Structure 1
Amino acid sequence: MCQHVKSFSQPALLSVTQQLLRPISVPLSLFPSLLRTLCHTADTALTMGLITGLFSFFYNLPKIYKWFLKPYYLLSFLLCIAFLAVRKCPGVCEHLPSQREDGNSCDFDWRELEIFMFLSAIVMMKNRRAITLEQHIGNIFLFSKVANVVLFFRVDLRFGLLYVTLCVVFLITCKPPIYMGPEYIKYFNDKTIDEELEKDSRVTWLVEFYANWSPECQCFAPVFADLSLRYNCPGLRFGKIDIGRYASVAEKYKVSPSPLSKQLPSLLMLHAGREHMRRPQVDKKGRAVSWSFTEENIIREFNLNEIFEKCKKLSKGRSEKIEELGSIPQEDDHNEEHLGEELESKKDK
């Protein structure tokens, strides 16, 4: 980018920068150097962005490799690059229509490049709220398929209909993989939830209200499982209930399973069967207030570190008391044996 700026003549630089920076009161002689500085900054930011992306890719390469072994991710990737493959495939691209001035149908025209740029902008905006790497990849897959639909319909109606048919078949036959990793989570139903929550008043429960059909709940599953592995203790337990199956529980705890309410997933902290906190919060219209379900936010909002430390101290104190109480009968038994020996010796005498 800056190489093109350096090739400009001085008058050209002055005219361009004067038009762009007219509202700013900057001396005219500083416009070329200012523009070069901006270009250099943009190049540096772009380079750092590429380095960060490559570092993130190689850091998560083992996980990405495992994903591509699963049919859902492999087929999604193939659907995402379908238009690219068709446009660049020799023997096929020569027969495609093109709006390029040179008539080369094996290269992208300006309208297709604009669609790709718009796709990149949408993905970056949506991924700002993504929690896990799975959500990042899911957003890329979703909007790439939408862009492919538009691109195929621009080329040929038959290509567009064929691609939509493939997407529908994929949606029906392939489901995203469910998290099956380790966890310390109790799964409730409509009959056991109240009994478990009220069984021991000393136990604090962090319960997730979820639905299997919700993509947000599926992406949040590994985060909640990791929290259960880190913070599960006798005084702090983790639970889940599917309110898509148990509507009565959703009504009792005022968690709406409707997709429009955006209340899924919902985390409730309960103590002795009573609610102490929930995220996300709900406004007067019944819609959830925007909240990011990251590990850091959950730990901070629900004070998991503080609760965990208190539970550890209480359990340590109880174990010490049990040890003290356990040592008393041993001393009594020893005294009884000693008295028995003295009585036997007296009888012998």
Structure 2
Amino acid sequence: MTPLSELYQRLFFPHYIVNFFFCLPYFIIRNVFILKNHLDLSLEPPETKIYLVIGALIILKFRVSASAEEWLSITFSYLKILNIIMFYVFGKTLWAVLYAIAMGVLFVVLPQPRYQGPTKIIELSDQDLFDIKHNKFRKFEEHITSEKVFEVTVAKISMKYTTSEVHFGKIDLDLYPNVAEEYEISLSPTSLDLPALILLKNGKESGRLPKRGKDNEQLDQIKNQKLRNVKETWDRLGWDRSMKSIIETFKLDTLNKTE
């Protein structure tokens, strides 16, 4: 269990505090007698069902999220969507539009902070990666990501599995697009290639998450091309990013023992 002091260090930032209060407007308006009269209560939307759906999604994400940052980020997103939905169903379309605009502004002005906890992840340049590929390190797990919440998971793994033989690093593909091209990683806004984890052994790629179509053995069993495409998209979109999945996929428990 994560100590409270570490959670405080990681989460006590304006981003999380402001987003928490930004999720409250509908609940305040709905439950304060003077304010709720501004809503068209005669519409009688299915409030309870909407609450149950959002609540179930939040609970589900709590069970599968790899970190507090990831769960909070998803929870805030669901609650903001709830605000928009409820303003709309209670007849306040303008409020819903203004809230959505404010949500977009908040996303740009106050982005999620980088992970502040303990880590043994090394910041890499393309030259560093060149050295790694030419056997300066025997085993190296390369962390290529566009999601700050995912960095928490990799950081925790790096703390446990970094040794003299195994190292963890990350590289910013926006700064080194040549690396993205080399590893066939799309940088488009709709790309399903990111975040990515690549295991290098003796300078050569020996594993990757999410799996590419040509590396996914399950796809070989599907003959219909449309079904293959759907399966590949689903697998790449919803791949398991938990610590357990990463450890098992790259066999980190035995990596130090293998040549």
TM-score range, shorter chain: 0.7 to 0.9
Equivalent position SS for 2:127: coil
Give the match for residue 295 of structure 1.
Answer: 243
Equivalent position SS for 1:277: strand
Report the Cα offset of residue 160 of structure 1: 2.2
User: Deviations for 1:147-187, whole angstroms, at most 9, x for unmatched residues?
Assistant: 11121123323322332232233122111111122322222
Equivalent position SS for 1:178: coil
**Number of residue equivalences:** 240
8 Å CA contact retained: 2:6, 2:117: no
Give the match for residue 148 of structure 1.
Answer: 83
8 Å CA contact retained: 1:186, 1:238: yes
Report the Cα offset of residue 128 of structure 1: 5.5
Give the match for residue 196 of structure 2.
Answer: 266
8 Å CA contact retained: 1:203, 1:234: no
8 Å CA contact retained: 1:131, 1:292: no
Equivalent position SS for 1:183: coil
8 Å CA contact retained: 1:208, 1:266: yes
Give the match for residue 72 of structure 1.
Answer: 15
Taking the aligned partners of 2:152 and 2:20, their CA distance within structure 1 comes to: 22
1:253 counterpart letter in structure 2: Y
Give the match for residue 179 of structure 2.
Answer: 249
Taking the aligned partners of 1:184 and 1:65, their CA distance within structure 2 comes to: 20
Map 1:1-349; keep pairs closer than 5 Å: 69-99=12-42, 109-126=44-61, 129-155=64-90, 156-200=92-136, 203-211=138-146, 217-284=147-214, 287=233, 289=236, 290-309=238-257
Larger relative contact order, structure 1 or 2 (CA cutoff 8 Å, min sep 6): 2
Give the match for residue 106 of structure 1.
Answer: none
Determine which structure has more spread, i.e. the larger CA radius of gyration.
1
Rate the CA distance shift 1:196–1:67 in 2: closer, same or farther, 3 A. Answer: closer
Percent identical:
25
Report the Cα offset of residue 250 of structure 1: 1.0
* Structure with greater proportional helix content: 1
Taking the aligned partners of 2:107 and 2:202, their CA distance within structure 1 comes to: 43
Equivalent position SS for 1:240: strand
Report the Cα offset of residue 222 of structure 1: 1.6
2:17 counterpart letter in structure 1: L
Taking the aligned partners of 2:193 and 2:28, their CA distance within structure 1 comes to: 39
